[in-house]
Amino acid sequence: MTDQTTTERSRRRPIAWTVRALVAVAAVSFVGLLGYGVFAQSPDTSIDDALSRGHAPQAPAFRLAVLQRGSLGPILAPRLASVLDRPEVSLAELRGTPIVLNMWASWCVPCQQEAPTLERAWREQARPKGVLFLGLDQQDVTSDAQSFMRHYEIDYTNIHDLGNDVPRAYGATGVPETFFITAQGRIVGHIPGESTSQQLAEGIRAALTGRVVRSFQGGSQGAFQ
């Protein structure tokens, strides 16, 4: 073997090691990105897990724009009218009032099918008992949401989330989803998908009494956009 050949091989080794190192780093980075993507898209099931054990987890906090104050009635108006007349409202400002939190969007077909059921439960069961119905419109154009509420004669309070950060904090995977929250801010029930009148009635009672009623089996649901 000549000195020249030995020198050439010596020069090639650092280059080869550098290439191998770059390939290894790229492979590790790719696997990491895949892992992050799977993790980021995995829903948070902590609320449903707690409900299944009979526990009432704390409802995740939020502050969102008020889309519609709604007609509160004689029980809720003295406590909430001034709060809901503001541009934004937080969950903390509603403390002391049981809440039915319904997540929806105007483009969601199951939400359209569910709307009359929700409005009837609000007028006949929740409002007379001092339970606030709170619609959370998400991933939606404001004018479309307002048209939806007019069309279905939605008479309860609604707030607006341009994205879906708040629903994901609740572990929601689509629309509609409904959560029943006590006056102390604890979640005592959950309906993933379209709700029924019976489920809403049971959830309203749970929000009033604080008794955990688990996660119901809801109907059809639209995926996040």
- Does residue 219 share a domain with residue 129? yes
Residue 29 has pLDDT above 90, yes or no: no
- Does residue 65 share a domain with residue 149? yes
**For residues 123 and 177, what is the distance between their CA atoms, to the nearest angstrom?**
19
- Does residue 108 share a domain with residue 5? no
Query: What local confidence, expressed as pLDDT, does residue 14 receive?
Result: 42
Counted domains in the chain: 2
pLDDT digits (tens, 9 = 90+) for 127-150: 999 999 999 999 999 999 999 999
Residues in the chain: 225
- Does residue 56 share a domain with residue 38? no
3-state secondary structure of 88: strand
DSSP-derived pairing of the beta strands 157-161 and 63-68: antiparallel
Residue 23 has pLDDT above 50, yes or no: no
Domain containing 2: what range? 1-42
pLDDT digits (tens, 9 = 90+) for 91-111: 999 999 999 999 999 999 999
- Does residue 38 share a domain with residue 21? yes
Q: State how far the alpha carbon of 13 is from the alpha carbons of 3, 8, 23, 144, 212, in Å.
A: 16, 9, 15, 64, 67
Buried residues in 95-107 as b, exposed as e (16+ CB within 10 A) = eebbbbbbbbbbb
Query: What local confidence, expressed as pLDDT, does residue 157 receive?
Result: 98
Strand partners, 65: 88, 160
Sign (positive/negative) of CA torsion 189, 112, 220, 123? Answer: positive
- Does residue 123 share a domain with residue 208? yes
- Does residue 146 share a domain with residue 38? no
Find where tokens 């492979």 sit: 27
CATH of the domain at 95: 3.40.30.10
Phi, then psi, of 220 in degrees rounded to 5: -65, 160
Element (H, E) at 37: helix 3-41
Find where tokens 């939605």 sit: 154
Strand partners, 187: 181
- Does residue 180 share a domain with residue 102? yes
Side-chain-side CA neighbours of 170 within 13 Å: the count stands at 29
pLDDT digits (tens, 9 = 90+) for 185-225: 999 999 999 999 999 999 999 999 999 997 788 888 887 76
- Does residue 110 share a domain with residue 15? no
Task: Enter the pTM of the model.
Answer: 0.81
**For residues 201 and 120, what is the distance between their CA atoms, to the nearest angstrom?**
11
3-state secondary structure of 54: coil
- Does residue 74 share a domain with residue 9? no
pLDDT band at 1 (very low <50, low <70, confident <90, very high): low
User: Average per-residue pLDDT in the chain?
Assistant: 86
The residue type of 34 is L
**For residues 97 and 127, what is the distance between their CA atoms, to the nearest angstrom?**
11
Sign (positive/negative) of CA torsion 166, 169, 174, 177? Answer: negative
